[in-house]
Copies of this chain bind each other. A is one copy, B any other.
Amino acid sequence: MEYNPIYLDIVWVLFATALVFLMQAGFAMLEAGATRAKNAANIIMKNVMDVSIGSLVFWMVGFGFMFGANKSGWIGTSNFFLSDIDPATDSGMFDFAFFIFQTVFAATAATIISGAVSERTKFAAYLIYTVAVTAFIYPIFGSWVWGGGWLSELGDNGFMDFAGSTVVHSVGGWAALAGAIVVGPRLGKYTAGKSPVAIPGHSITLAALGVFILWFGWFGFNAGSTVSGNTGLIAIIAVTTNLAAAAGGVAALTLSYLLWKRFDASMTLNGVIGGLVAITAGTANMSPAMAALTGLIGGMVVVGAIVLLDRKLKVDDPVGAIAVHGFAGAWGTIAVGLFASATYGGVDGLFFGGGVGQLLVQLTGVAAAFLFVFSTSFIVFKVIDMTIGMRASDEDQIRGLDISEHQAAGYPDFAPAIPLVSYSTPVLSGAAVPSGAAIDETIES
């Protein structure tokens, strides 16, 4: 039998697809663990449904908008329902593999949002937004970068975002920002004249499990983005990915210890993800040392952005998704313009003698993502809010969305914690499953 490299390519892409798919479980566990028990069923239902709806919608139209024939440079216009793929050929089969890999990417972008709007968003509203992001917002921006659109033509090398720090993560993060603003903070989170209330998640073990699963999935997310197994590039990608994650965790732990004199668990977990998000753009184009540095700074960006959002901007993001995916994604994309090295790919960044050219392209792409995604998402969320309504009622938030939306309790066999008498938000103390002792004041000034 003669060697046909396409089979190893397909095997590799499907391996990576499976890993990226499992990131849905990672997000579900991280988001559920980082929020309250009374909303656990709601969170996991959002995660299950965004990958379900996203898979269908991306097949119907999203993939065509993103990777279809793109004359304008602004949107693809063919291959809806995979109509252009010929199943009788090996290259058609590769196209199917490419499609399923892109599907799980789209689902990742969608699921990032669920955490940021959790604990107070109506389920139906979330489902509608999921359609919007996987059918239009994500694919259209994606077409600009990966579908041969205008950002891919910018400068000498085009906008460089190898595996999606911006295309997937910042897109998810900025959409999450719009959603969190439109839906508003959770009941009891901010009270005029008082410090923001830290509302601890209900299971640190599930949150940690989620992070480990995400880290695992990221090997597929980044190394799979070669969409080829016939390249040694996948090895350096695995190395840079892992080092950045490790450095992000160490940075967030260290910084939180310096700031608050404790080994903060939720910051550390978010720091790991921040490192992973940050390296995603430059994973194939940096030395291991620069990857570690990118992740290190990524972890610090996450801590800083969480404090900024939670304390200063008063944007309530229960799981830190905006900081992790939006901010660290932007940082990582910019880092390509600073730390990329021709030794590890096609371009030298500013610190390796490449000048500011690529850096400006990177900044342009980062800005374009923010402007396009935040504005379109804001409009979509506003329209949803003005029609069916985004926000669950105060009463439903107190009872928990599990009961109001799903008529189910997530943990009926366990007694809820008894609210402390001194608990700082009286509104919450009437909750069916209150968050108990507010020991974990995650953010303190």
Mark A residues whose CB is within 8 Å of B. 1-8, 10-15, 17-19, 21-22, 24-25, 28-29, 32-33, 36-38, 40-41, 44-45, 47-49, 51-56, 59, 81-82, 87-90, 92-97, 99-100, 103, 123, 200, 202-206, 208-209, 211-213, 215-216, 219-220, 223, 229-236, 238-239, 242-243, 245-247, 249-250, 253, 260, 262-266, 268-269, 272, 287-289, 292, 343-344, 402-403, 405-418, 433-441
CA distance in complex: A299, B233 (Å): 41
Given B6, B208, B232, which contacts A232 in the complex, CB threshold below 8 Å?
A: B6
A439 touches B409 (CB 8 A): yes
Pairwise interchain contact A412-B417, C-beta atoms closer than 8 A: yes
B residues within 8 A CB of A36? Answer: 413
Nearest chain B residue, comparing its CB with the CB of A436: B412
Chain B residue with minimal CB distance to A250?
B52
Judging by beta carbons under 8 Å apart, are B344 and A56 in contact?
no
> How many whole Å from A201's CB to the nearest CB in chain B?
8
A interface: dominant SS = helix
Are A8 and B7 interface neighbours, CB within 8 A?
A: yes
**B93 near A52: Cβ-Cβ < 8 Å:** no
Q: Which residue of B lies closest to A81 (CB)?
A: B289
**With known contacts A232-B6, A235-B10, A439-B408, A48–B242 Cβ distance under 8 A:** no
Task: Give Cα A157–Cα B213 distance, bound, in whole angstroms.
Answer: 39
Known: A238-B100, A407-B440, A413-B202. A212 touches B53 (CB 8 A): no
A407 & B209 in contact (Cβ 8 Å cutoff) = no
Which 10 pairs between the two chains have the least Cβ-Cβ distance? A93-B232, A25-B212, A44-B208, A55-B246, A408-B440, A97-B235, A37-B413, A96-B235, A52-B249, A3-B3
Contacts of A250 in B (CB 8 A): 49, 52-53, 56
Residues of B within 8 A of A344 (CB): 87
How far, in whole Å, are A92 and B243 apart by their CA atoms in the complex?
Answer: 18
Q: Which of B24, B93, B249 contacts A49 (CB 8 A)?
A: B249
Q: How far is the CA of A435 from the CA of B409 in the complex (A)?
A: 11
Q: Does the CB pair A213–B11 fall under 8 Å?
A: no
Contact A414 B415 (CB under 8 A): yes
B8 close to A202 (CB less than 8 A): no
Given A96-B239, A418-B415, A216–B25 Cβ distance below 8 Å?
A: yes
Q: Could you write out 16 A-B pairs with CB less than 8 Å apart?
A: A3-B3, A6-B232, A13-B235, A29-B209, A45-B268, A48-B211, A48-B249, A48-B268, A56-B246, A56-B250, A94-B232, A97-B232, A202-B413, A264-B408, A403-B439, A413-B435
Give Cα distance in the complex from A287 to B12, angstroms: 23
Closest B residue, CB atoms, query A407:
B262
